[in-house]
Amino acid sequence: MAADVLHMTATEMARLLRDGEIGAVEVTRAALERIEAVNPALNAFCLLLPERALAQAADIDARRVRGEPLGPLAGLPVALKDYTPTAGLTTTYGSRLFAGHVPERDAVIARRLVGAGGVLVGKTTTPEFADSWFTRGAQFGVTRNPWDPSRTPGGSSGGSAVAVATGCVALAEGCDMAGSIRGPAAFCGIVGLKPALGRIPFDALPTTFDDISHFGPMARTVNDAALFLGAVAGPDPADLFSYLPPLELSLPVEADASRMKLAFSPDLGFCAVDPQVAREVRAAVEALRAAGATVEEVDLGWRVEDAEAFFTATLVWMAALYGDAYDRGADRLEPLTRRLIEMGREVDGVTLKRLDFVRAGIWRKLAAVLADYDALVCPTMAQPAPRLDRDDFDYGHRTADGRLAALDMTGLFNLIGACPALSVPAGRTDEGLPVGLQIVGRPQDEAGVLRVGRAVEIVRPQPAAPQPSAPQPSAPQPSAPQPCASLPSL
C-alpha cells in the first residue's frame, strides 16, 4: 500500500498518516525505494539520508501511538535543495569549491520543515550557486526532465521539481531568485510558489537585506503547496523582511472561479512566446472564463529594457556573493559561473542603483492593474523545456521585431518581491511537455493566488508526470551524473 500512497497528494498522505492508516516508516521506506529506482536515470538527489530518515519516521510512529501531538507534515517524505544550509549535512551549493562543506546551522525553513514532522530523505541537485535554468554541473552531473530525459527540468530547483514530479517525496523546498521555483515547476508539470518576500524567512546568504530571494514550496497540488506554506511561514530574526502581516490560509483552498476577476497578459508586452505555450495558456484562460471568471487582456506597459535591467542586477548579485569564490578558485567554477561573475564585475554602482527606477516603474504599472483585478495571469515560461544540448546564453537575445527571446517570464516578479507568484500546470505541448500558467497576486496575498491556482486545477486538470523505473536518455548528453552521495547516519 505504501508505494500507492506515494502517488497521492501530500494532503491525502498526511491524513492517512495522521489517522494511523499507514505508518511513517512504511512510507519512508517506499520513498527511499522510489528514489533508488528513479535517481540513476534522472539524478534528482545528490545526498541521501536513509538511516536518519527511518529513525525520524520511527519516532513519529511511536509518538502517534503514545497520543502525542504531531505536526501538520508528520510522516511526509520531504527534500531540501543543496543550496539550503543544513546543520551537520553536506551543503555544496552545487559547486566543487564547496564539496564536503558542512554548515553549522540549519536555515529556518529546514528547521521548520523537520519540526512540522517532515521526514527529510535527502537533498536535491542544483546548478552551481543556483545560477542556471539547467540543473547540471561537474559536481553532480546532469539532472533530467521526467517527461523527456533529453531535456532539462529547469533550474535552479530542478532536482526538487523532479523529486516531487516522480513521487520520490510528497513535498520539496526550492529557492527562487529569478524563477528558480516557478520555472522547474512549469517544466516538470507540478506546482511551485514564490511567496511574498519574507513570508518564509530567507537566510541562505550572508546578507539579511537581499530582496529578490525567496524560499517556497514545490508540490503536486495547490492544496499541498498551501499545506507546506502554512507549516513554515512566519517571522524570524534571521530575516528582517519576514515581519509581515499574518498569513491567512484555508485548507482545502477554496476556489470559485465565478467570483474571480483576472487580468491576462499573453506576453508581458515584450516576450517572444512559443506558439504551443501560448496556445495552452490561452486554453487555461478560456477554461476559467467558461467557469464564470472575468478574464480581460491587459497591457502592462512593460518594456524589454525592464527585463534586461533585471538581468544586469542578477549579474551584480552573482559577482557580489561569489566573487570571493572566483578569486579563490576560478578554475574550479563552472564556465557559466565564471562568465556571470566577470560580467557582473563590469557593472558600475550608478547603473546598479538606477535599477531602482526600473523597479519603481514596473511596480507602479502592475499596481494600477491589480487595483482593478484580483490577480494577473500569464505564461510561467516562454518556451517548453529545452534540450540539454542548449545553454543559458542561447536565450535572452532580441528577435528581429525587437521582442525578447528569453526562456522565462518570471524574473521581473522578483523585482517586486512583495507580490506572490504561483506556477500551476496549464497544459502540454504536442510533444507532451508540460506548460505552466503563472498567477501573480497583490502584495502578501498568497491566499489569492492559491485560490486562482486551485480554480485552474479544477477547470484544466493535468496528468501526473510519468513514473519511470529506469528510463534511458534518448540522446547522449554533456556529462553523466556522479553517484548520489549517501549519508547513512548522523
Residues annotated as catalytic are 81, 156, 180
CA distance 372 to 434: 30
CB count, 10 Å around CB of 395?
Answer: 17
Question: Three cell numbers at 388?
Answer: 540539454
* Contact call for residues 481 and 140 (beta carbons, < 8 A): yes
Could you tell me the CA-to-CA distances from 219 to 105, 394, 458 in Å, in that order?
25, 29, 16
In contact, 478 and 457? CB cutoff 8 Å? no
Amino acid at 71: G
Cell of 113: 520543515
Neighbouring residues of 297: CB distance < 8 A, sequence distance ≥ 6:
263, 264, 265, 266
β-pairing verdict for 77-81 and 45-48: unpaired
State the greatest distance between any 2 C-alpha atoms of the chain, in Å, as a whole number.
68
For residues 330 and 73, give the distance between their C-alpha atoms in angstroms, rounded to a whole number.
Answer: 41
SS3 458: helix
Q: What's the full length of the chain, in residues?
A: 490
Name the residue with cell 507580490.
Answer: 419
